[in-house]
Amino acid sequence: MRMLNWVLNADILAGPVPWTAWGVTALCVAILLVRRYTPRRLLRAVLAIAVGSALGLALNWMLDAVDAFGTPLPGQVKWWAAGGFAAVALGIVSLWDSKALRKITAVLTIVFALVSATLGINAAFGLDRNLGDLLEISTLAPVGALPKPLATPTASADPQPLYATWKAPADMPRQGEVRQLSGAQRIPSTAGFVPRDASIYLPPAALVKDPPALPVMVQMMGLPGSPTPTAIKTAVDAYAAKHDGLGPIVIVADQLGSSRQNPGCADSKAFGGVNTYFNVDIPNWIRTHLRVLPGPANWTISGYSNGGACSFLYGAQHPEIWGSLLDISGEEWPGMESPKPVVSLVFGGDRAAFDANKPASVLAAHPGAYAGRTAVFTAGGSDHVYGPHAQHAAELAKAAGFSTTYYAVPGAGHVGPALSGGLDEGLRVLAPLWGLQP
């Protein structure tokens, strides 16, 4: 089990794992290319490389043409696809007219070329840090003891903000911890929705003997995707390292139920009570299980891509719960990528109900409800699909009364750097409101 966990937790974005795979692939390709050529062998090798490269580029073009991922593929993907397919094709033709050692090298080339291309494409997306994330297999340990709620929580137990009164003890951990909310600590879903297990991030300040009450954030990831806390841990650990271990407690929860379905952020017969899970079940669990600061000012709903659409909707629907929202590269409204199946499955073909579930409709129906509420919208500066939607969402929120920030992450598209940059910007804007810094 330990070995399996080590494999699943190995860093596949940087470090020895991808570089080893890429190095072995390059070595195998070089060995296959160095041989005594006849005209037939040379033609076969050249055609294999050319056809393999063309197939990789064609596949990239086709996936973009059918909008398979809801956004243009990162630029590096086409080169990894072309190179991977070329190496595989070279390996295949090298199995012909060759001795045993060359055949073994050819097989190794095929295997490592596929692994290398997968790792390269994953690095281009920058979302899955380890193999467990990529395969949606969690290796997190179940959560143990949690910082219990205060017996008599008040909105201002101390008139001073937390950063002014908090002194980190000498034995405070340097980094936060992530754990699985499973078993007895699983967040119950009361309205029929079956989510995958949520995870929780506890910043260093929450891991001391007598932790302070901290702000809380609920985070959702994208589609396809799983409730992995890797990006959250990286972002909040970096923030906490500069602020005496302070940071929000973050629950990374599942709004999908599966990486192959889109419940549209709504309660429905098809998928159960997704909205209820996030706006009733999770808040109730937080109040009874965690030492968090009370009141909307200290509670944030956050999401990336598909989760960003949900965060905007839930922040608009429930300003009495969520005093702030963070929408990272989100759809402007739930189901924007593929409206037809959402209208059909989630809303039973009722287009009016689908439209009423858009944040613009919710905002218009609640004039004056958003005074004192904060909305942060971010998108990659090079994301020409979701960037305009994020800007328009920010305009809608500002017109409705939210104190609104829009931030374009420099040089980022829709994937990893947009997520990490969006989380960093969200913490920068929200931390002073939570009392974690001046």
Contacts of 317 (CB under 8 A, 6+ apart): 275, 279, 362
- Is pLDDT above 60 for 167? yes
Strand order in the sheet with 324-328: 177-181, 198-202, 249-252, 216-220, 299-304, 324-328, 374-380, 403-409
Q: What whole-number percentage of the chain has pLDDT above 70?
A: 96
The three-point CA angle 160-164-167 to 5° equals 125
Whether the CB-CB separation of 86 and 52 falls below 8 Å is answered with yes
Q: Region 239-253: what's the mean pLDDT?
A: 98
Whether the pTM exceeds 0.85: the reply is yes
Residue 227 CA to residue 259 CA, distance in Å, equals 10
Over residues 348-398, the pLDDT tens digits come to 999 999 999 999 999 999 999 999 999 999 999 999 989 999 999 999 999
Q: Among 40-49, 167-176, 232-241, 348-357, which stretch is predicted with the lowest mean pLDDT?
A: 40-49
Residue 134 CA to residue 131 CA, distance in Å, equals 5
- Which pLDDT does position 22 carry in this prediction? 93
Q: Region 9-13: what's the mean pLDDT?
A: 78
Angle between helices 100-125 and 16-33 (to 10 degrees): 140
- Which pLDDT does position 302 carry in this prediction? 98
Residue 371 CA to residue 271 CA, distance in Å, equals 33
Over residues 22-71, the pLDDT tens digits come to 999 999 999 999 988 888 889 988 999 999 999 999 998 998 787 666 66
- Is pLDDT above 80 for 158? no
- Is pLDDT above 70 for 335? yes
Residue 103 CA to residue 260 CA, distance in Å, equals 39
Over residues 104-143, the pLDDT tens digits come to 999 999 999 999 999 998 888 777 777 877 887 777 888 8
- Is pLDDT above 90 for 334? yes
The residue extents of the domains of the chain are 2-125, 140-434
Q: Region 289-300: what's the mean pLDDT?
A: 96
- Which pLDDT does position 142 carry in this prediction? 81
Q: Among 200-204, 224-228, 385-389, which stretch is predicted with the lowest mean pLDDT?
A: 224-228
Scan for tokens 């963070």, then name that residue: 326
The three-point CA angle 372-252-431 to 5° equals 35
- Is pLDDT above 60 for 243? yes
Q: Which amino acid is at 308?
A: G
Residue 9: CB atoms within 10 Å: 15
Contacts of 190 (CB under 8 A, 6+ apart): 273, 276, 277, 280, 281
Residue 422 CA to residue 416 CA, distance in Å, equals 10
Strands 272-273 and 267-268: antiparallel
Over residues 59-111, the pLDDT tens digits come to 989 987 876 666 677 888 889 999 999 999 999 999 988 889 999 999 999 99
**265 band by pLDDT with thresholds 50, 70 and 90:** very high
Backbone angles phi, psi at 199, to 5 degrees: -125, 165
Residue 179 CA to residue 222 CA, distance in Å, equals 20
Over residues 395-437, the pLDDT tens digits come to 999 999 999 999 999 999 998 899 999 999 999 999 999 999 9
Residue 163 CA to residue 239 CA, distance in Å, equals 13
- Which pLDDT does position 186 carry in this prediction? 94
The three-point CA angle 169-174-178 to 5° equals 115
Torsion over CA of 94, 95, 99 and 103, rounded to 10 degrees?
100
Q: Region 232-243: what's the mean pLDDT?
A: 97
- Which pLDDT does position 412 carry in this prediction? 92
- Which pLDDT does position 156 carry in this prediction? 47
What CATH code would you report for 140-434? 3.40.50.1820
**1 band by pLDDT with thresholds 50, 70 and 90:** low
Residue 10 CA to residue 12 CA, distance in Å, equals 6
- Is pLDDT above 80 for 8? no
* Tokens representing residue 224 in the block: 């396809």
Total residues found in the chain within this entry: 438
The three-point CA angle 338-281-330 to 5° equals 30
Residue 46: CB atoms within 10 Å: 12
Average pLDDT value over all residues in the chain? 91
